[in-house]
Amino acid sequence: MARFRKTLGWISVAAVTLALGGSAVAGGNPAAGDLRSFPWRAKNVILVIGDGMGDSEITLARNYTVGAAGELALDRLPYTGQMTTFSVQETDPSIPDYTSESASTASAWSTGQKTADGRISTSPSTDQDLTTFLEIAQDRGMKTGVVSTADITDATNAAAMSHVAARGCQGPADMASCPQDAKENGGPGSIAEQAIDHEVDVLLGGGLSRFEQTITGGPDAGLTVLDSAAAKGYEFVGTRDDLLASDGTKLLGLFTPSHMSVDWAGAVAANPPSGPQRCTEDQRPANEPSLAEMTTKAIEALTHRSRAGFFLQVESASIDKRDHVSQPCEQIGETVALDEAIAVVLEFARTSPGTLVIVTADHAHTSQITEVDAAPAGFSSILLTDEGGEMLVTYGTGSTPEGQQHTGSQVRVAAAGPQGWKVVGLIDQTELFDIMERAIGAS
């Protein structure tokens, strides 16, 4: 790809940003709080994904909460660029698919290679397992963690820690679409099984039901995935209280049968527009932790009595899921939940300057802000923002409120810390793999 050549040209800038890291020019101690200053190598990598969080979704959340001129935590990352998110066709991988989804996109940054929609870190057409950054990090002795508000076996998370032909193959009983991956057929098993077999140190999110299924092949046949995890030394937590009380370092936290609950509520978009409305906050059940709490706990677990670095992937999944169903309040609430997790991550990075932080999205989505007196073709709602403005949010990529689609726009990518400057300019999603790999010195 022609664009990849550009990155090489940045070596001159790299030399200078290195100089900045240890230089008096910065006017301070680079180890004490500047997200731009850093050592050359990253000890830790934290990749934060807003699923479906295009620039429009970011702007919506900013406008509603801190105001159009305000600053979210995600706005504080010093390096910014744009990122392409296309996938490729299964039957002819030389032809792009201009509108991708979470499996192909997460596979792209997890493996550095493009694949087809629905695939989990396997190659298009040939169905080969592609080495993931998580595996590389583990090989180098780093601890690893995956945190998400979705099923922990959902696509974005799955691509970090497993290889299957179809994203639906989440538990041992879900293998109809990828029999070749089933353990009884010599495969690595479902996504849930692979997460445990990979011994990812920290797994926090939804999706308990997948882990209650019974393993059908291999040495753990007859056990549930939960039993298998216990045998491998995982501590299981199932509620917010249990999570907050835990000091485990090999932690499996599954708080809901499938996706976790959303934080906010409000009226669905309609035609003519619903509202004007204010969103209802604080809707998350008390037994479910927030994404920020899970992120805090994951970092604690990954650093507790450990001098090894870590790789942590954090996802707010339901920005996407609530955008699909034209729910502006729920979508904004999940963006805010992500932003609170980003604040946690940035505070850790500020005091641990060997931490590369990347914040981006897997793909863009439907929601748009338009004139309050417009008559959009789709489904809309007028929100009354905290600063007293009126904002019309509209959803028009599907013919029903429940049927909205991903969009193919390039998305924002932002970074802080070692090698973070490499996201400046235009990159492709596969380059995140290269950036993370180089940051830990693995290439």
Catalytic option among 87, 102, 148, 274: 102
Nearer to its own copies, 309 or 420 (CB): 420
CA distances from 178 to 139, 141, 172 (A): 27, 31, 11
Residue 30: CB minimum distance to its own copies, A? 10
**DSSP 8-state class, residue 329:** H
Return the beta strands (E) in 267-407 as ranges.
274-277, 310-316, 355-361, 368-370, 379-384, 390-395
Nearer to its own copies, 56 or 194 (CB): 56
DSSP string, 32-101: SS-TT---SS-SEEEEEEETT--HHHHHHHHHHTT-TT---GGGG-SEEEEEE--EE-SS-TTSEESS--
Residue 54 CB burial class (10 angstroms; 0-12, 13-18, ≥19): buried
Residue 153: CB minimum distance to its own copies, A? 24
Helices (H) and strands (E) in the chain, counts: 14, 16
Residue 393: CB minimum distance to its own copies, A? 9
**102 has catalytic annotation:** yes
Which residue type occupies 46?
I
Residue 214 CB burial class (10 angstroms; 0-12, 13-18, ≥19): middle
Nearer to its own copies, 184 or 386 (CB): 386
Distance (Å, rounded) from C-alpha 22 to C-alpha 30?
6
Residue 71 CB burial class (10 angstroms; 0-12, 13-18, ≥19): exposed
Nearer to its own copies, 180 or 399 (CB): 399
Residue 286: CB minimum distance to its own copies, A? 33
Longest dimension (CA), the chain: 63
Residue 159: CB minimum distance to its own copies, A? 20
Nearer to its own copies, 226 or 416 (CB): 416
Indicate the pairing of strand 355-361 with strand 411-416: antiparallel
Nearer to its own copies, 3 or 232 (CB): 3
Q: Which residues are known to be catalytic? A: 102
